[in-house]
Amino acid sequence: MQSLLQGMNRRLIQLNTQYHAITTRLFLEERQAMPQEQRVLDQRNRLLARRNQVRDSQLEFLLQALAPLEQVPAPTTTADQLTNTHNDAMQRAHVRSLALNAMARSTCLAEVFRHAEVQLDGLQESAAPCERILKLQRLMQRYRTLAATINDLNEVCQQRKQGDGHA
């Protein structure tokens, strides 16, 4: 499925060919644009401005919506280490996993993450500022890491429950 931004990028590619041909011709012939040429130039400039506005708006939304991921502490232990810790540490890990799970499974956050995955290529193609794209990619990676950590913690908790039931 093509996003609005990707559609605008494709249309700009088409207009850029005409734009460059016209501007080159105007330069070589040392003249002003005729009305038909000016319409193409204006159309391309309007589309470029609108595309940049859409791009910036989408990127800002994604960064703000994923911003809570910046507050999630990085995992301090791995699933393997958790299996070797005592009961208090297991309970703390379980409570932490429940909190992280609630955040990661938040419908809104999951939807924004999926939306970011779909929009990322279009944002990159539209010359979005590199530092903002990199920030979005870091937040997306944080979400993936969080989801993986939650899965690991849930597996450890399941193993622990099964172990407690057999003891």
What pLDDT digit, counting tens, does each position of 41-100 carry?
Answer: 999 999 999 999 999 999 999 999 999 888 765 555 555 454 555 566 666 666 666 666
Cα–Cα distance measured from residue 82 to residue 153, given in angstroms and rounded to the nearest whole number: 8
Window from 11-20, 47-56, 72-81, 123-132 with minimum mean pLDDT: 72-81
Q: Total domain count for the chain?
A: 1
Q: What is the pLDDT of residue 80?
A: 47
From its phi and psi, is residue 2 left (phi > 0), alpha (psi between -120 and 50) or beta? beta
Print the domain residue range for 131: 4-166
Q: What is the pLDDT of residue 166?
A: 62
